[in-house]
Amino acid sequence: MKVGVKFCGHCAMHMDMTVLYGALRLALPEIEFAYASASEKWDLLLILNACPVACAGRPVFDGPVITVSPVAVDGWPVEPENLLEELAKRLKNAENRY
């Protein structure tokens, strides 16, 4: 499964999402991650927002999307220290379906 990753721009950095992204890549070596660019295709879009406003622009994409902020995943509250675990669980589930 290929996951396209999009960052918000970090104008109000409550959490450095590049650090979370790095940890996610280490935790899930079986999943291919790449920055979401218009020229590439991916199976799932992961949008990483550095603050709760979660304002990142969303590329045109019809597939599944996971939107993350320091306090939530897809709008569901998640403690910051549990974000990695929660995301890993969701991505593994998505991979199993894929």
Toward another protein, which CB reaches closer, 29 or 57?
57
DSSP states along 7-27:
E---SS-SS-HHHHHHHHHHH
Candidates 1, 18, 25, 71: give the one binding another protein (CB under 8 A): 18
Round to whole Å and give the CA distance between 50 and 7.
Answer: 8
Part of the chain binding another protein (CB under 8 A), chosen from 8-16, 61-69, 71-79, 86-94: 8-16
Contacts with another protein, residue ranges (CB under 8 A): 5-13, 17-18, 35, 55-57
